[in-house]
Amino acid sequence: MLGLMQDWPLTVDKILDHANACFPHREVVTRTVEGPITRSSYGAIWRRAKQVTNALRAANIALGDRVATLAWNTDRHLEAWYGAMGMGAVLHTVNPRLFPEQIAWIMNHAEDKILFFDLTFAPIIEKIAPMLSTVKTYVVFTDRAHLPQSSLPLIAYEDFIAGHSAEAQWGGFDENTAGGLCYTSGTTGDPKGVLYSHRSNMIHAMAANSADCFGAGASDVVLPVVPMFHANAWAIAFVAPMCGAKLVMPGAKLDGASVYELLESERVTFTAAVPTVWLMLLNYLRETNQKPSTLKRVAIGGSAAPEALIRAFEDDYGVEVIHAWGMTEMSPIGTIGKLLPETLAADHETRIKTKLKQGRALFTVDLKIVDDEGREKPHDGKAFGRLLVRGPSVARAYFKNAGARNDKGECLEPDGYFDTGDVATLDELGYMQITDRAKDVIKSGGEWISSIDIENIAVGAEGVANAAVIGVRHPKWDERPLLIIEPKPGAHPTREQLLGFLEGKIAKWWMPDEVAFVEKIPLGATGKINKLALRETFKDYQLPSAAAGE
């Protein structure tokens, strides 16, 4: 027997329709790429997104065609976002932090027909345009007065949508229709395309805004520092208009001073970004002796949040840290670090230690950890295992069957779970903690050492701007940890100081065999430490302990 409820397909156009109906005057504030701060509203964005739809149709874009954007978080980007998805085109958000050749490869693989981009990225587009085989139209997110000189037939965004009606048909297609395309960063092999459906995006956005996750409402002011090209800005581009929160778009300026200016001038209550952004903000706050006056919650994800970062926000500034974990393949949020009553009642140190974990599964996400033979490991907070996930917003296959593992083209384990590539623990309360990427875990004397745990402690040492740990070959132990330090400007931390700082905080046999200092630790396209580049740099490095046969 089937239920007798209405058929109301979960398509993302309904989000902006709802925002227009219920919150038409709620502001969307943008720091534009051109410089000035502008003010729009959900009602205005709804009308202009409809114009985008009509302009796309006039440019022969149809259901299923890929529409690429290479852009920062702005109101214009949001308009193109909903204008494309609302008509059933697939919005392909391209990460500008990839190498130009990778960007060209991705756009050709996606078969993008039209590209919207910000002025910042005009030099990249000039370079790769001859390599692009399917892009026919280039639209710059600006007006005619700011349109750059180019050998390409560029169209100013304002001219592209000018004269088009604000009435356009949205929806009317199956909720499983593809709505978004986002490629993995491709640290090994070619990037792979994750193809989101309207249904998966809607379900994920509703789960992401549950009370134990973002918990945003119409009275909130939300600043997504995490870019829209990072898996839908962690769903905030859907969540904010869904709940009517005021949306503050930071554009291209993500330094500590610029972020703080928007936090204060727009009275932001909730924000989200990767740890490197928050480290810049904290450095700015300390240098200028300032503090956020309205900020209540900050989501930290993309890589593990260091303990020093969590303590600074919570202890020094009274801001709640929401430690999150996820993947592009998970839309992206998988776990969230809100505290349970059992932990809230504990002492401060216990609460901080719990917040260091990546958190409990978001509703709609199933987690398990298994050994190399697929046997499930106990949830005791100690046993390490490969982290597997499943759910309605988790990828079952990559675009064009890249990385297929069965004859259905799927990238799943035989039992239908997706292997995240992470190694993790699960405790009895359901808190998951990433101990490493499977390829980054250090295997020493038959045991595993977590590089992430050492990094998160080391980054709290005096004079340290960033820290990384990699495994270096050792004739006796297979691998031993090398601690790599990027000092703060003007600081000169020593090997002895750093190893002394780690003493008592990690197991003795985890202690790095040596410390190396670099001017800059390389970061990947998503702001994470690029371990691949570090391993290449230190591929011939010989540990003193190895030379001594210890």
Give the confidence band of 304 by pLDDT, cuts at 50, 70, 90.
Answer: confident
Query: For the segment 268-298, what is each residue's pLDDT rounded down to a tens digit?
Result: 999 999 888 898 899 999 999 999 999 999 9
Quickly count helices (H) and strands (E) in the chain: 19, 25
Say what the pLDDT of residue 403 is.
85
**If you compute the radius of gyration of the chain from its CA atoms, what whole number of angstroms results?**
24
Query: pLDDT: is 165 or 539 the higher one?
Result: 165
* pLDDT value at residue 279: 87
Question: What integer pLDDT is reported at residue 74 of this predicted model?
Answer: 98
Q: Which residues of 278-289 are buried (b: 16+ CB within 10 A; e: fewer)?
A: bbbbbebbeeee
Q: Name the residue among 517, 384, 360 with its Cα closest to residue 446.
A: 384
Would you say residue 498 lies in a domain? yes
pLDDT computed for residue 548 by the predictor: 63
Q: Which of 141-145, 343-347, 540-544 has the lowest mean pLDDT?
A: 540-544
Domain for residue 464, yes or no? yes
Average pLDDT over residues 371-388: 92
CA distance 361 to 48: 37
State how far Cα 268 lies from the chain centre.
Answer: 20
Q: Are 119 and 105 in contact (CB under 8 A)?
A: no
Which residue type does 321 have? Answer: V
pLDDT reported for residue 446: 63
Nearest CA to 508 out of 435, 422, 449 is that of: 449
For the chain, the domain total comes to 1
Question: How far is residue 546 from each of residues 129, 425, 451, 480, measured CA to CA in Å?
Answer: 50, 31, 19, 9
CATH number assigned to the domain comprising residue 543: 3.30.300.30
Q: How confident is the model at residue 477 (pLDDT cuts 50, 70, 90)?
A: confident
Contact 265, 313 (CB under 8 A): no
User: Residues 525-529: what's their mean pLDDT?
Assistant: 77
Is the separation of the CB atoms in 474 and 545 below 8 Å?
A: yes
Res. 401: pLDDT tops 60:
yes
Answer whether residue 478 shows pLDDT above 90. no
Domain that holds residue 513: 440-547
pLDDT level of residue 507 (50, 70, 90 thresholds): confident
Contact 470, 453 (CB under 8 A): no
400 has a pLDDT exceeding 60: yes
Q: Is residue 286 included in any domain, yes or no?
A: no
| Overall average pLDDT of the 100-129 stretch | 96
Residue-wise pLDDT for 149-192, tens only, equals 999 999 999 999 999 999 999 999 999 999 999 998 755 568 89
Q: Mapping DSSP to helix (H, G, I), strand (E, B) and coil, where does residue 114 land?
A: strand
User: 550 pLDDT band (50/70/90 cuts)?
Assistant: low
Share of the chain above pLDDT 70, in %: 97
What gap in Å lies between CA 160 and CA 45, rounded to an integer? 15
- pLDDT tier at 444 (50, 70, 90 boundaries)? confident
**pLDDT tier, 547 (very low <50, low <70, confident <90, very high otherwise):** low
Region 119-130 average pLDDT: 96
Residue 239 lies in a domain: no
Mean pLDDT over the full length of the chain: 94
SS3 515: strand
Which of 266, 308, 247 shows the shortest CA–CA distance to 464?
308
CA distance 31 to 250: 5
Place of tokens 């529409």: 67
CA 393 to each of CA 203, 243, 361, 374: distance values in angstroms, whole numbers, following the listed order: 7, 20, 13, 23
* pLDDT value at residue 24: 98
Residue 471: inside a domain: yes
Tokens of 242: 């869904």
pLDDT score, position 509: 82
Res 479: pLDDT: 86
Among the listed residues 549, 464, 477, 539, the one whose alpha carbon sits nearest the alpha carbon of residue 512: 477
What's this model's pTM, rounded to 2 decimal places?
Answer: 0.85
The two beta strands, 178-183 and 90-93, are parallel
Query: Does any domain span residue 125?
Result: no
pLDDT for the residue numbered 527: 76
The residues annotated as belonging to the active site are: 184, 329, 443, 448
Q: Between these two residues, 405 and 85, which has the higher pLDDT value?
A: 85
Task: Examine residue 148 and state whether it is found in any structural domain, yes or no.
Answer: no
pLDDT in tens, 220-257: 999 999 999 988 899 999 999 999 999 999 999 999 99
pLDDT score of 442 more than 90: no
Q: Is residue 495 part of a domain?
A: yes
